[in-house]
Amino acid sequence: MEELVNWFQQHARDYPWRRTRDPYAILVSEVMLQQTQIPTVLGRGFYSRWMERFPDFSSLAAAREEEVLKVWEGLGYYRRARNLQKLAREVMENHAGEFPRDHAAILALPGVGPYTAGAVASFAFGLAEPIVDGNIARVLSRIHDDATPVDSTAGAKRLWERARALVHATDDPRALNSALMELGQTHCTPTKPACDLCPVRSHCRTTDPESLPVKSVRQEITAITERVIFLRTSEGVLLELETGRRRTGLWKLPAMNADQPPPVLMRTHYSITRYKVTLWVHEPHAHDGVWPDTHRIIPFTELESTPMSAPYRRVLRELMQRGEFKLDV
């Protein structure tokens, strides 16, 4: 794969995490990119804002979770932010503030799987550790013309074995792993791959690249409905602290469980993982003003600094801008 490394060194795109060997900066980028595309992470300033506020393990470990979630707001999959903070505290408390350089020790950190461990080990420390993400799985499946489902046990095992063989055969694991990812992002794309421009086309066996990789399980999209209320007082807006698995620690408009829904203020849609959500926002019920401990009137001046998922942030901003409220209590 010398041709691939040479191609990468000439054509690599410039990203801030490629200019550093700091394991913290690299780790943050890898965690953000697990579920979010590069243009979003960079173009909308998520990476730069995070690094400005939490430039190292120490600052992240010492932060309040509410602030961590607020800085992460808009990226979704908030468990990633919590796991990052949990990892930072582990590094500060059990590794004297120094990120481990051993692959096994990296893999033992909270929230770190084989891909992230391999990425930090190779990108930060130059260790010959393989990585397999969606891009690399696509590249390797096509090079070997392998239709084994990549989400099967056999398929995953074969991908990691091939990636390991490649990284052990190079003098520059950092460049090779980066090059494989870059190739999948720019040339060996899911549709309309640029095969004529591929630096390793002479090694590629497939004659039908768009048929690969193969996945055995297609995740079905489930439609669900959420009904919430919007209650604005003279002091602020009633919000509910989420306690479920997906968005624990974030605030939202309070859930409504009435059999006869009150008048609708608005309806919108959003998607999260495998769910397509229809969100109905209603006027509040008649209420005695006594709310559960998870509910709180958030002052108007604190609404923007309160951590909230992006769909609820959009809804709240729209409702606050309407100006025709008859809901003040």
* Active centre residues (catalytic): 30
User: How many other β-carbons are positioned within 10 Å of the β-carbon of residue 66?
Assistant: 13
Distance from chain centroid for Cα 149: 24
d(CA 143, CA 99) in angstroms, rounded, equals 35
Sheet containing 222-229: order of strands? 222-229, 275-282, 264-272
Count of residues for the chain?
Answer: 329
Q: What are the angstrom distances between the C-alpha of 240 and each of 69, 99, 237, 253, 310? A: 16, 37, 10, 6, 15
d(CA 18, CA 34) in angstroms, rounded, equals 16
**Of 91, 173, 179, 96, nearest to 129 (Cα)?**
173
